[in-house]
C-alpha cells in the first residue's frame, strides 16, 4: 500500500465513524505513524508502506475510532503556532483560547506588563505563548492539579521558558506571591449536568459547577487583591455566560471597564475587566 492509498483509507475510515475533521486527523495519524513531516508525506505519496508501518497506522486509526482524541494519541497539539505536549493529565487546548493570548498582547501594546498570572494553566499553552511574545514579563502559571503541572513543566522546558514561567500548585490566586498587572484565566465552564461520562479528558478541567460559572465566580471574588493598581483581567467563558459573568464583575467592580469579545463563530467568548487605580487591591 502506498502512502497515498493509506492516507485516503485512513480519512475514509475516520469519516465513516463520524469524525468531523477526518481529512486533517487522518493526515496527523499517518505522519505520526511514520514519524515524518507533512512535507515529506506529500513528497513520498507513492512510497510503499512496510507491513509494520501499516500495522502501526491502523492501530492508531482504531484508537481514534474508539473516541480517543488525536492529540492524546500523538501527544501533540498546536496552539498559537506552537507545538505542545499533551496527554490525559491536561485538557487539550482549544483554538478559541488563542483569543486570550491575542487580547493580552493587545493590552501589552499600551501598558507595561511586568508580571502576569495564568490561572488554571493546564498544559501551560497560554503562559508559554505569552512568555515567548513578551520576553520581559514574569509569568505565574497556577493549577490545582499536580499532574497537570507535570505536563506544564515539560512544555516550559520544551519552549525554553522555564526560567520565566513559574509553575505554582494551588487554587486560583492563592499561590501567587504578589499582585500582577494582568490575570488571564481559562477556567472550567461546562455545566455539571452537561458533562457526559469522560473517558479521556480530565473532569476537573471541565466541570464549572451547576451553572457552569462556579469557578469563574470564585476567581472574580479574588481579583481585586490579585491585581496591581489599574490592572486587567481576561476571562474565557462558555456560550451564554456573558450576562452572568459581567454581573459578577459589575457587583465587585462597579467602576471597572468591562468588554465582551466574540470568537470566530460569533459566540461571546472573552470578557475583559480593566480596573481603575482606586479599585485594584481594594475590592473583595
125 and 21 in a common domain:
no
Residue 7's CATH number: 1.10.8.10
Q: Does 282 fall in a domain?
A: no
pLDDT in tens, 30-75: 999 999 999 999 999 999 999 999 999 999 999 999 999 999 999 9
For 122, half-sphere exposure in the C-beta direction (CA atoms, 13 angstrom radius) is 26
Final residue belonging to a domain, choices 15, 42, 74: 74
With both helix axes pointing from N to C terminus, report the angle between 125-133 and 146-158 in degrees, rounded to the nearest 10. 30
pLDDT score for 182: 97
Residue 278: what pLDDT?
53
In a shared domain, residues 141 and 241:
yes
In a domain, 53, yes or no: yes
pLDDT value at residue 283: 43
- What pLDDT does 131 receive? 98
Whether 179 and 210 map to the same domain: the answer is yes
Q: How many CB atoms lie within 10 A of CB 182?
A: 26
Residue 261: in which H helix or E strand, if any?
Answer: strand 257-262
pLDDT at 279: 53
Task: Name the domain boundary from 74, 105, 123.
Answer: 74
One domain for residues 173 and 247? yes
CB atoms within 10 A of CB 53: 18
Residue 10 falls inside a structural domain: yes
- The list of the chain residues with pLDDT below 70 reads 197-198, 277-284
Same domain for 103 and 32, yes or no, is no
pLDDT digit string, tens, across residues 2-22: 999 999 999 999 999 999 899
Q: What is the DSSP string of 97-158?
A: GHHHHHHHHHHHTTS--SEEEEES-TT-HHHHHHHHH-TT-EEEEEES-HHHHHHHHHHHHH
The residue segments making up the domain with residue 207 are 78-83+88-274
Residue that finishes a domain, picked among 22, 46, 74: 74
> Domain check: are 48 and 177 in the same one?
no
Residue 280 within a domain: no
What total of structural domains would you count in the chain? Answer: 2
Find out whether 32 and 80 touch, Cβ atoms under 8 Å: no
Amino acid at each position: 500500500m502506498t502512502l497515498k492509498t493509506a492516507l485516503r483509507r485512513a480519512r475514509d475510515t475516520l469519516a465513516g465513524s463520524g469524525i468531523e475533521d477526518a481529512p486533517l486527523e487522518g493526515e496527523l495519524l499517518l505522519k505520526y505513524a511514520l514519524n515524518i513531516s507533512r512535507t515529506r508525506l506529500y513528497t513520498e505519496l507513492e512510497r510503499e508502506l512496510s507491513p509494520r508501518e501499516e500495522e502501526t497506522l491502523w492501530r492508531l486509526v482504531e484508537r481514534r475510532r474508539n473516541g480517543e482524541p488525536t492529540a492524546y494519541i500523538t501527544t501533540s497539539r498546536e496552539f498559537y503556532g506552537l507545538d505542545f505536549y499533551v496527554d490525559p493529565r491536561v485538557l487539550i487546548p482549544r483554538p478559541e483560547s488563542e483569543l486570550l493570548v491575542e487580547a493580552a498582547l493587545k493590552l501589552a501594546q499600551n501598558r507595561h506588563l511586568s508580571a502576569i498570572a495564568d490561572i488554571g494553566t493546564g498544559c501551560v499553552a497560554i503562559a508559554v505563548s505569552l512568555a515567548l511574545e513578551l520576553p520581559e514579563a514574569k509569568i505565574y502559571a497556577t493549577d490545582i492539579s499536580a499532574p497537570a503541572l507535570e505536563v506544564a513543566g515539560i512544555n516550559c522546558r520544551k519552549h525554553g521558558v522555564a526560567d520565566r514561567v513559574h509553575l505554582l500548585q494551588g487554587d486560583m490566586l492563592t499561590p501567587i506571591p504578589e499582585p500582577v498587572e494582568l490575570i488571564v484565566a481559562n477556567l472550567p465552564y461546562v455545566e455539571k449536568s452537561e458533562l457526559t461520562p469522560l473517558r479521556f479528558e480530565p473532569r476537573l478541567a471541565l466541570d464549572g459547577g451547576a451553572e457552569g460559572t462556579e469557578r469563574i465566580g470564585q476567581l472574580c471574588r479574588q481579583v481585586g487583591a490579585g491585581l496591581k493598581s489599574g490592572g486587567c483581567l481576561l476571562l474565557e467563558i462558555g456560550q451564554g455566560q456573558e450576562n452572568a459573568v459581567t454581573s459578577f464583575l459589575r457587583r465587585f467592580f462597579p467602576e471597572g471597564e468591562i468588554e465582551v469579545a466574540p470568537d470566530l463563530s460569533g459566540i461571546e467568548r472573552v470578557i475583559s475587566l480593566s480596573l481603575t487605580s482606586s479599585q485594584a487591591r481594594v475590592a473583595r
